[in-house]
Chain A
Amino acid sequence: MTRVLLFENGLLVSGLTLALVALAASRATASRVLLGAVGWIRHLPLSSSGHRRLAVFSAAVAGLPVFFIMAFLTVLAGQSAGRSVAWYLAGFFPMGLASSLFWTPLKNARLARPLAFLSCALFGAGHPLFFAAGLGMLVLADLVAGPMRRKRRTRLFVPFGRKPGLEHLISLRAVGWTFVPLYLLSYAVLILTQLFILNNRLAGSMASAAARFGGTASIVLFMAFLAARLAARRPPWPWLRSQAMSARGRVTGDAAFLTVPCLPLVAVTTALNVWAGLPVLILLPLLAVRAAAHIRDGPDSRTGPGLALVVEGGLAALAAALLPWLSLVSLAGIPWALSAAARRDRRLKVSRWTELHRLAAGDSQSWSAA
């Protein structure tokens, strides 16, 4: 696929493809790294543009693993197509800078962002002239960018009607609009599942198995991204642990918060195939409790809750597709999963997380800075 996208459809497709991949990768890294660039660090003796350049550079360095993977795939595709990839490889790091600049909150974002995007696309074309033009665009974007803009204070969402418990309201406010792209992603998985069923003219048990797999996969993806967002935006709240609430209560609350938005996906799975909805629905609570447990993996987790849940959920999706009765067994696993998650919640070193990454006074990563 890399070969087709980079070498067989012209420079425009190659440039746009790599630019979009770079922007998607930088979205994840830059948004987190840049959180730390708007706090106390601003008092250091550095000009505002110097400060911004350092922040962009840090975000680009954080995204390097993704660019290494892109470089690896490009080299493989180049060997397969018998083409030189030197200019692609040369363009990856400046492309990381441009994509990080794209996501940086800037005073002149409206001017700088199109230039940064154009720069990404030019680097992605893998041609010396375009590379030079990309560098020019990057320099221009840097010149017009202006200082970094402080993020506006989060506006608190107050739902109409009866308020849910504050714990859920905090979770809801923390994840914000994340629901929209997640639903788009999950419904795309369900649409692909339906297309797969129709395209292969599956019927009976095969169609049901495919719908079960697709339905569970859509839920797993939704839950994994939502859990990752929740873990990043709503870290453990140390003070809340001193309140009259049990660890099991906190875990159950999170599991319920993760379960409810998945119900429309179960409904669509049922609409795809009547026999697919029930096993997926039965699997849902166990997946939610496991997601709540992974949210509590703590600061030492290198992957966050998302990847761990995708691995576990992938296995669950396979099991649901091949052996639907196994979803009934999952019900028996819920109390165990709940106890394990509560134990993990109790054992969290919340102050350690606080001191390293969150609320220590003046920490630019503190919630108040976010």
Chain B
Amino acid sequence: MIRFEQASFSYDGRVRVIDRAEAELGPGLTLCLGLNGCGKSTLLKLAAGVEHPDEGRILLGGRDLWSDEVAARRTLAYLPEHPDLTPFATIGDILRMVCRLRGEAPGRASEALEAMDNRIAEVILSWIGDRVTDGAAVVVISHTLAPFAEAAARAVTIERGTVRVSELPPQSSEERRKVLDGLAKGAPVQARTA
């Protein structure tokens, strides 16, 4: 469960990209939709603990992301849109470090490395499917809706900093795609707003 409590964020101290977000993203797949530059990535960075909110707080599984930093992040996996690596470490180094920080066996690192050789999109989609089945809260930003439309439990949209969560009722794939497509293009929210 990811919970935003009156969380605000601004890059320059003037324009609020996220303005007093009050949202609860429960188990299941949440699609973060909207036009370019509306604040989707920023919202995800806030949820991943990459950026610190200027105001308010963000809870992960009931733990404050910034006052209980280590425990809250143990259950977190963040995959940014661009590869965010350092030239001063190999992929193996990084995977071993993640295992150490999470208290997992180093063997997991080599398994993950093996997966890199496969078609990465399939691996990620399958990983997301597994996590949703496990009951995790998964937030995805994607302009390609087709792979996620079926499994999405809700959609998050951001308009002028205001975050809206729309629970998606059970409906046919076609209707669901239509709703998601509208939300992605910035259409007014028609689904039930939480």
Contacts and interface: CB of A to CB of B under 8 A. Distances in A.
A and B bind: yes
B86 A367 contact: yes
Contact of A170 (B41, B74, B86, B101): B86
Interface stretch (B87-95, B121-129, B144-152, B186-194): B87-95
Contact of B96 (A166, A174, A350): A166
A351 B52 CA distance: 11
B119 interface: no
A154 interface: yes
A243 B101 contact: yes
Given A166-B94, A242-B50, A349-B11, A153 B45 contact: no
Nearest to B72: A244
B89 A169 contact: yes
Interface residue range, chain A: 35 or more
Nearest to B54: A347
B178 interface: no
B97 interface: yes
Interface residues of B, number: 36
Contacts of A167: 97
B69 A245 contact: yes
Interface of B: 11-12, 41-42, 45, 48-52, 66, 69-71, 73-74, 76-78, 80, 82, 84-90, 93-94, 96-98, 100-102
Given A242-B48, A244-B70, A348-B52, 12 more contacts: A166-B94, A167-B97, A169-B93, A170-B86, A173-B89, A237-B84, A242-B50, A244-B71, A244-B74, A245-B70, A351-B45, A359-B82
28 contacts: A153-B87, A156-B88, A156-B89, A165-B100, A166-B89, A166-B96, A166-B97, A167-B97, A170-B86, A173-B88, A234-B88, A237-B84, A237-B86, A238-B45, A239-B50, A239-B78, A239-B84, A242-B73, A244-B73, A244-B101, A350-B50, A351-B11, A351-B45, A351-B50, A351-B51, A367-B85, A367-B86, A368-B87
